[in-house]
Amino acid sequence: MAPTASEDNVEVPNKSRVTVVGSGNWGSVAAKLIASNTLKLTSFHDEVRMWVFEEENVKYLPGIKLGQNVVADPDLEHAVRDANMLVFVTPHQFMKGICERLVGKIREDAEAISLIKGMEVKMEGPCMISTLITQQLRINCCVLMGANIANEIAVEKFSEATVGYRENKEIAEKWVRLFSTHYFMVSACEDVEGVELCGTLKNVVAIAAGFVDGLEMGNNTKAAIMRMGLREMKAFSKLLFSSVKDSTFFESCGVADLITTCLGGRNRKCAEAFARNGGKRSFDELEAEMLQGQKLQGVSTAKEVYEVLRHRGWLELFPLFTTVHEICIGRLPPTAIVEYSQS
């Protein structure tokens, strides 16, 4: 839909400046994708600033070069100061604090995109991360989600992604141009909530898939769990936002991300170890040991989803989501995943 990088040869007087907020596993790869494009697209400054919480891509992506035009900056406020395109890509649990630090510190004309899979639960109900960014920083925020295991994209294996946007197609197309490469095919979808909820909720299903793997229940069981999970993802999203489109679940952010996460993601991997140990080692312990600084999103998202379900009286409508949380907190054994998830 959007012109490719080589077609964007129009001289623009006010070039956009991009800052990536986050430098973990996916944050570093996102910076690499973007930096390869800002060198080619004349409407962007070459330099891509990347806020680093710790010195890390050496740790998370050994041997991968991000591009000489990626400038690491440990000072959050300094990193965002000049940017009018902000890419947020940290584990979701840190975003509330990051937004609080950024209030009044960003350009008034800034646009944002969130690559973060997760949500906040406030007193008044669930709050998607893009909404948190919009409410706290008073800027428009698109999302980019998809079947995107960072280590595979780092070595330029082909994948797809979906940009979710609200109304402003022009800005969505600008984000599509900024991320698209020959090995990363991005399309836009006017359903910001649907796209973001797909990326968020699939992490809960990935935990369930990991339990199935740890219990060595086989492919048919895993496929059944993925089907039930997809159905709950769709039902939950539509109950929260009636605007969510069925077609979104067939984009990369939907069924494709669900598949890749349940086959090869970090949530699956740690949940497999949890079930193999009969639930006797905590997720915190397994995360620290197996991911070495990277963060799981599925366990906390399962808790957040559970809180929404309990608050709204929907627990019985979502047996898979409910069971995943109860296994994670030790209220049920891992074997409950097939006993209680059926509906």
Ligand X SMILES: O=P(O)(O)OC[C@H](O)CO
Ligand Y SMILES: NC(=O)c1ccc[n+]([C@@H]2O[C@H](COP(=O)([O-])OP(=O)(O)OC[C@H]3O[C@@H](n4cnc5c(N)ncnc54)[C@H](O)[C@@H]3O)[C@@H](O)[C@H]2O)c1
| Site for ligand X, rule CB under 6 A | 117, 147-149, 206, 257, 260-261, 265-267, 297
- Under rule CB under 6 A, residue 117 binds ligand Y: yes
Q: Which is nearer to ligand X, 140 or 148 (CB)?
A: 148
Residues 6+ apart with CB under 8 A from 188: 1, 2, 162, 163, 164, 165, 169, 172, 173, 175, 176
- Under rule CB under 6 A, residue 113 binds ligand Y: no
Q: Which is nearer to ligand Y, 22 or 210 (CB)?
A: 22
* Shortest distance (Å) from residue 206 CB to ligand Y: 10
Of the candidate residues 149, 204, 233, 302, the single one contacting ligand Y (CB under 6 A) = 149
Of the candidate residues 223, 294, 336, 340, the single one contacting ligand Y (CB under 6 A) = 294
Of the candidate residues 134, 148, 159, 181, the single one contacting ligand Y (CB under 6 A) = 148
Among left, alpha and beta (phi > 0; psi -120 to 50; other), residue 48 is beta
Residues 6+ apart with CB under 8 A from 195: 143, 145, 162, 163, 164, 189, 248, 251, 253
By CB under 6 A, the residues from 201 to 260 that bind ligand Y are none
E-strand spans in the chain?
Answer: 16-21, 44-51, 70-73, 85-88, 111-114, 119-122, 125-128, 141-145, 159-164, 184-189
| Rounded alpha-carbon distances, angstroms, from residue 341 to 152, 236, 264, 276, 335 | 31, 15, 22, 19, 10
Of the candidate residues 35, 79, 110, 115, the single one contacting ligand Y (CB under 6 A) = 115
* Shortest distance (Å) from residue 15 CB to ligand X: 31
End-to-end CA distance of the chain: 40
Q: Which is nearer to ligand Y, 117 or 177 (CB)?
A: 117
Catalytic residue among 32, 202, 234, 269: 202
Q: Which is nearer to ligand Y, 35 or 332 (CB)?
A: 35
202 is catalytic: yes
Tokens 């041997």 appear where? 63
Of the candidate residues 89, 132, 195, 212, the single one contacting ligand Y (CB under 6 A) = 89
Residues with a catalytic annotation lie at 202
